[in-house]
A and B are shown apart, each in its own frame.
Chain A
Amino acid sequence: MLVPDVKSRPQYQQLRFDPSGRFHLFVGQGDGGLALLRVRPELPESAEIRVIYTGESLTGCDLSEELAGCGWRQLKVLTTQVAALQMLDEVLEQSLMGTRLYVAGSEGFIGAAEQVAARYNLQSDELQREHQGSSARRVFCVHCQTSQDDVTTNIVLCRGCGRHLLVRDHYSRRLAAFMGGMADAEVPGCLPELREGFG
C-alpha cells in the first residue's frame, strides 16, 4: 500500500483514453502492463497509438507476451527500464502538438518517465500516471546526492556515502525520489528499528 498522507507525492489515477489528444504514447513497466491490457479494448481503432513496455521489475511481473498478443500496431518491448526510458526520450523528441503520455508501472519508473517528459514541457493535463506493482522507493541522499532504486525499508545504506539513511515521506518530482537523510547523526550508531516499509 502507498502511504496515503505523503502530501508531496503525485496523485496517481487509472489510465483512461483521452480523446482530446491526436497522438497517444503508452509507456508501461512490469505490473503496469496490467493497465495497458485493461485500456486496450477501450482504444478507438482510428487512434494513433504507440506503446513502449519493459518487463523489468522488482516484482518480476513481465507481461511482454500478453501485450504482444493483443494487436497493437506499434509496440516496442525493451528488456530494461533504462532502454524503455531512452526510447521514450527518442519518441518525445519527434512528437507533435497534441501528444498524450500515459505511464503505468512502479512509482520509481513513473518518476523517471516524468523526468524525461519534463524535458519536453508536457503539461499536467497531457500526462496520466497509474501506479501498479511495487511501492519500493527511489531514495535521494541529501548528503551526497546519490539516488538508489528499489528501497523497501525505512532505513537504507547509501551507496554513495555509506551513511545509514532514514527514508522520509517527502517526495520530489524533480528528482523523482524520496528524501533520505542520515538516520544516526545525533548519536552515531543509534539507529531506529529497521522496518519493511514499502515493499
Chain B
Amino acid sequence: METAFKPDESFRAPFHYGNSPAAIRRFPFPFDQDTFMYSVNVEPHLPGPGGSCYEFPIDIDEHYVAECREREIALATTTHRYLALPHMMAAQWDVLELITSHLSRDYPEHFELQRDGNRWRWINRPLGRDDTFTFGDPATLPQEPLEYITRQTQGDWCVLDQRNGNLWLDAGMVTTQADWSLNFDLGMNFREWHGPVPLAPELGVFDRALKLLMNLQLGNPVRRLNWTMTINPRFDTSPEQYPVWGPDRAGVTLDNVGDLAHLRVELQALWRLPRSNAIVFSIRGFLMSLREMVTIPKWGRRMHRVLRDLHPALVAYKGLGRYRDTALAWLADYDDGTATPPGTQPE
C-alpha cells in the first residue's frame, strides 16, 4: 500500500489529527464481542492481510512522520522518557537490528539498510536520514542505539531482561504511554510493574502471561491488543504530564464528545532478541475518535455496549469515570440494537 504521510498532524494543542477512510478500516478494533474482560489474549504475531496493520511485523502508517516528530517534541520538552540500565547494551543493538532489518525489508520504498560486516548504512527517506555507523560501537551513533532507532518509530518500546525466573523492565523509550511511568517503573519485574492493574491478577492473567513470555522463542513473536480511551488525539498521557492532560477530561460535553473522545488501542508485540536473550515489547498506539468509529456501524454499536457494561474497576482504572455517561449518551444514537457479528472486522 502506498502510504501518503500527513506530516502536519499534531498530538498536542492545537490538535490536528484525523484518520483517512482507509486508516479507519485498518484500525485494530479490539472488541470481538459486545463485552470486555481481561484475558491472556496473546496470539502469534503472524502476517495479516495486505494493507492491514498486521501485514508486517512493524507497521508504518500515514501518521508515521507526525508521530516521530511528536516523539522529538516529547524528548525535547520532558525528561526521563528514554532510560536504559547499563547491562542492556547488547539488547539495544538487538533492537536496532530488529527494527532496521524489518523496516527495510517490508518498506523498501521508505527504508534501506546496507550491511558491510559491522559497517552499516541506514537510510530513512521519510525522515530524511542517511547514517553510517559501526554495529556494536555506540560511539558511532548520535544517541545510544535504542534511543537512536526508536526515535524513528511509532509507538513505545520496552526492553525486558530475563533472569531469576522473571522479566525486568530495564530499558525503554516511552513517550506515548497510557498513564504509566517509565522513570518510576524502570527496574521492576513483571509482577511489580503490573501492580496497579485491577482484576487481572485475580484472574491469573499475569501468571500465565509471564510463563508464556518466559518461553518466547526467537523468530516466533507474539502480539496482543490493549485499549483505553483518551480525550483529544493526545499521545503523551504520561503520569508526569497529567497536569497538562487531566483537565481535558473535565471539558467533555454531549456536543464535543464525538470529536474529543478517542478509542486508544495498543498493538503490543513481543520479540525474543538473539544476542541478549532479552525481550523487546513494542506498544504501538492507534487513536480513533468516536465520530470516526461510528462510520463503521458495527464498531459504533459494539463500542456503546462495551462501554455501557464495563466493570466499574476498569472504568476507574482507565480513567473514564468523568465522561463515560456523556460518551454513552452520544453513542446511543448509533446503537439500534441490532446484532453485531462476532469478530473485530468492520462488517
Contacts and interface: CB of A to CB of B under 8 A. Distances in A.
Interface of A: 6-9, 124, 140, 142-143, 145, 163, 168-175, 179, 181-182, 185-188
Interface in B140-187: 164, 181, 183-187
B50 interface: no
B184 A186 contact: no
Contact of A7 (B183, B184, B185, B195): B195
Contacts of A143: 240, 242-243
Given A140-B184, A142-B239, 6 more contacts: A143-B242, A143-B243, A168-B196, A171-B195, A182-B246, A186-B247
A7 B191 CA distance: 7
A186 B195 contact: no
B332 to A, nearest CB: 24
B187 A170 contact: no
Contact of B242 (A170, A185, A188): A185
B242 A181 contact: yes
A185 B247 contact: yes
Nearest to B179: A181
B184 A142 contact: yes
Interface string B205-244: 0000000000000000000000000000000000110110
Q: B164, B195, B201, B246 — which one has the most chain A CB atoms within 10 A of its CB? A: B195
Contacts of B196: 8, 168-170
Given A142-B239, A182-B246, A186-B250, A169 B195 contact: yes
B195 A8 contact: yes
B193 A182 contact: no
B184 A170 contact: yes
Interface in B275-300: none
Range, interface on chain B? 20 to 34
Contacts of B192: 7-8, 171, 173
A185 B246 contact: yes
Contact of B194 (A7, A9, A187): A7
Contacts of B322: 186
Contacts of B89: none
A185 B250 CA distance: 10
Contact of B184 (A6, A179, A188): A179
Contact of B193 (A8, A9, A175): A8
Contacts of B239: 142, 179, 181
Nearest to B189: A8
B102 interface: no
Contacts of A185: 242-243, 246-247
Contact of A172 (B80, B188, B243, B247): B188
Contact of B188 (A8, A168, A169, A181): A8
B12 interface: no
Contact of B246 (A145, A171, A186): A186
Contacts of B187: 172-174
A54 to B, nearest CB: 27
Nearest to B80: A145
Given A179-B239, A185-B243, A7 B250 contact: no
Contacts of A170: 184, 195-196
A95 to B, nearest CB: 21
B240 A142 contact: yes
Nearest to B251: A186
Contacts of B188: 8, 172-174
B25 interface: no
Contacts of B164: 124
B249 A186 contact: yes
